[in-house]
């Protein structure tokens, strides 16, 4: 890992970058970005992993991290349409013919 001053500068720069973008990028998104302030290889050298960087970013700069995250307000679930109970169909009360249990031989 790098010294504390270098880590603090990188965290500050990245927190402003993410706040400007409006979201915290994944490692793949950051690698593909053309206007990144610090090379990904340097981030790996300083923090050893991208997840460690995210932990330190959230811990050291919580206000800027919240600006970057901007959690979307969950949309309220639509209310289910009121289902009117259907009236049961009338059942015919026709009984089947009774069959004897024993056959009668002729």
Task: Note down pLDDT in tens along the chain; length 106 residues.
Answer: 668 899 999 998 998 898 888 888 889 999 999 999 999 999 999 999 988 988 898 898 888 777 766 654 456 667 766 667 777 777 767 777 777 777 777 6
pLDDT of residue 65: 74
Number of domains in the chain: 1
Rounded-to-integer distance, Cα 40 and Cα 28, Å: 10
Residue 100 lies in a domain: no
pLDDT of residue 39: 93
Residue 87 lies in a domain: no
Residue 26 lies in a domain: yes
What kind and span of H or E run contains 40? helix 40-47
Residue 85 lies in a domain: no
pLDDT of residue 72: 44
Residue 46 lies in a domain: yes
Residue 88 lies in a domain: no
pLDDT of residue 30: 92
pLDDT of residue 88: 74
pLDDT of residue 61: 82
Residue 92 lies in a domain: no
Residue 44 lies in a domain: yes
């Amino acid at each position: 890992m790098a010294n504390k001053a270098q880590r603090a500068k990188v965290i500050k720069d990245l927190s402003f970058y993410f706040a400007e973008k409006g979201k915290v990028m994944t490692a793949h998104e950051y690698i593909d970005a053309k206007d990144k302030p610090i090379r990904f290889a340097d981030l790996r050298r300083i923090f050893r992993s991208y997840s460690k960087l995210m932990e330190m970013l959230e811990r050291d700069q919580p206000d800027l991290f919240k600006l970057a995250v901007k959690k979307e307000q969950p949309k309220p679930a639509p209310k289910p349409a009121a289902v009117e109970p259907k009236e049961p169909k009338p059942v015919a009360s026709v009984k089947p013919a009774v069959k004897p249990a024993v056959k009668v031989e002729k």
